[in-house]
Amino acid sequence: MKTLKIILILTVIVLTSLSAQAQTVLETGNKQKRVLLVMTSHDEMGISGKQTGTWFEEVASPYYILTEAGYEVVFASPKGGAAPIDLFSMKAPFTTPNTERFLKDEVANFAVQNTRVLRNINYNTFDAVFFPGGYGLLWDLASDSFVIKMIEDFAKTGRPIAMVCHAPGILRDVKKPNGEPFVKGVKLTGFKNSEDAEIELLHHLLFSLEDELKLRGANYISKGNWEPNVIVDGVLMTGQSPASAPPLAEALAKRLNDSKLKRNNKRIKD
């Protein structure tokens, strides 16, 4: 009987400790919310000879929306340094007022040319993570064990994970704590096969995010080609196409603001 009591006491202590640790990670304590914006370091589309990288609009608009909402945005990539921008996305009709603004912005350009090495960052000091799309990430971020673990840790601690266009493809190998695919039964979206086919790039890709996520049980929800489409399911926030980047960033900014208000209200009540 005495042994049983000791076991029960130790169990309670361990569970309390684990709960406290999770809460510590969840509440970063940042007065200014921090968003980690993760870009690809890969600039080749297989052996096609086509240049790629991150899609420009999906960096530019989220950067301005989040910084102007009062949040710190830190650029990171697997290799650090200059992160490649897809040249295709720097040409009409894919340019936007925010991409034009970004090109003239010395601070924004410096950030993209001097991204932090992702593995050197303590991501537990960030309140959210944002993955812009583009094709390069299919070759590096989607198979990066550090990125996969980071997403799993963000999910466990209830911090938002925002992904647009091809970025949801990074979820291909992410797991739930029980070992099931992270996307199983989860509502999400991402760039459609028909959108890739429309610009004659589907056959150049390492894999189809639409096919792979559906195969793993995702509830994939799409709209017409190139239409804005944002799907939120728990901590996961996804956008279908480049046009979804602004509304996705706005949804993330609102979510971070709502969490800040809740925390402040809790302090007032306490």
* Digit-coded pLDDT (tens) for 175-192: 999 999 999 999 999 999
pTM (2 d.p.)? 0.87
- CATH of residue 37's domain is 3.40.50.880
Q: For residue 242, is it within any domain?
A: yes
Does residue 187 belong to any structural domain of this protein? yes
- Domain assignment present for residue 162? The answer is yes
How confident is the model at residue 4, as a pLDDT? 47
Report pLDDT digits (tens) over 70-95: 999 999 999 999 999 999 999 999 99
Instruction: Give per-residue burial for 43-68: e unless 16+ CB within 10 Å, then b.
Output: bebeeeeeebbbbbbbbbbbbbbbee
Structural domain boundaries, residue 113: 32-269
CA 66 remoteness from chain centre? 14
Structure confidence by residue, pLDDT tens digits, 51-69: 899 999 999 999 999 999 9
The answer to whether residue 4 is domain-embedded is: no
Q: Is residue 22 part of a domain?
A: no
pLDDT given at position 260: 65
- DSSP string across 66-103: HHHTT-EEEEEESS-BPPPB-GGGGSTTS--HHHHHHH
| 156 has a pLDDT exceeding 50 | yes
- Write out the two tokens for 133: 């799309």
Res 49: pLDDT: 79
Question: Mean pLDDT across the stretch 200-212?
Answer: 83
Instruction: Decide if pLDDT at 206 tops 80.
Output: no
Report the pLDDT value the prediction gives residue 262, as an integer from 0 to 100.
62
pLDDT recorded at residue 69: 97
